[in-house]
Amino acid sequence: MKLNRTAQRTVEILKLVSKNPEGITLDEICEKLDLPKTSAYDIVTTLAEMGMVKVDKGVRQRYTIGLMAYRIGIRYTNNLDFIGVMEPEVRTFAKEVGKTVFFGVQSDYEVVYLCKAEPENPIITTATVGTKNPMYCTSLGKAILAFCDEETFSQILGRIQFSKKTEKTILNRESLIRELDKVRELGYALDERELEDHMECVGAPVFGADGSVLGAISVSSLYKPTEDYDGLGRMVAKKAEELSKMLGYLGKK
């Protein structure tokens, strides 16, 4: 299928402008996309007239994403069935890593599992879709807690009643807060046999279009001393980032 050149350039310009919240000049657009200045000027002028980009006038005009583009994006995300997006991705990821993959969301001060996918030769896990577990001793829960807003964090923290599940379970707020600082630094959370003695899990946050934490994705398997859990954590964080982008997340502002 032959693509319309002007339409293709228009989309490329919009994508570039959206990645530069501080604004981008016409010269920078031309340089980054290797476009003739006259063609780029005609496109951005039209986009500005339609409200798709905003012109910030100064010594040099800078273009930022416009209100109309934002409204179109919101209409898309409002109609988006995120579970419909998540389920096939969770299944594919389970096959890729050869381990059980979950997607979960916050439910009061617990995490509830909404999606589960297993590889061809699954390891038995006690959690099923609809199961709830404490946030403080699961990788899903810690990933959500570490990146939620301050008000939500305070409310959840105030309601947690710590209970010993294994010898490795976190049992007080101070230890949990230190653990969450580490999660923010790494971008992923570990459940180091804190919920079940034989299971080790790695989780990372999934963000929605508005920048808030929608939930988290995790990988679970039988504990192995030889497993590179930090390497697995980076893989899960990368997948969570991909899922966030699919749901309209454009990154930190």
Structure confidence at residue 187 as a pLDDT band (50, 70, 90): very high
Structure confidence at residue 123 as a pLDDT band (50, 70, 90): low
pLDDT in tens, 61-96: 899 988 888 777 766 655 557 788 888 999 999 999
Name the residue among 90, 97, 126 with its Cα closest to residue 215: 90
Q: What is the pLDDT of residue 164?
A: 94
Give, rounded to a whole angstrom, the gap between the first and last alpha carbons of the chain. 36
Q: What is the pLDDT of residue 74?
A: 64
Q: What is the pLDDT of residue 53?
A: 93
* pLDDT higher than threshold 80 for residue 33: yes
Q: What is the pLDDT of residue 210?
A: 82
Structure confidence at residue 237 as a pLDDT band (50, 70, 90): very high
CA distance 184 to 174: 16
CA distance 183 to 145: 9
Top-confidence residue, 231 or 120: 231
Structure confidence at residue 10 as a pLDDT band (50, 70, 90): very high
| Rounded alpha-carbon distances, angstroms, from residue 244 to 89, 132, 218, 222 | 12, 23, 14, 27
Query: CB 58: neighbour CB atoms within 10 A?
Result: 9
Min mean pLDDT across 40-44, 81-85, 114-118, 163-167 is at 81-85
**Domains with residue ranges and CATH for the chain:** 5-77 (1.10.10.10), 80-246 (3.30.450.40)
Structure confidence at residue 59 as a pLDDT band (50, 70, 90): low
- Cα 200 → chain centroid: 21
Whole-model pTM: value is 0.67
Q: What is the pLDDT of residue 3?
A: 79
CA distance 12 to 52: 13
| DSSP state at residue 200 | E
Helix axes 5-18, 37-49, angle to 10 degrees: 70
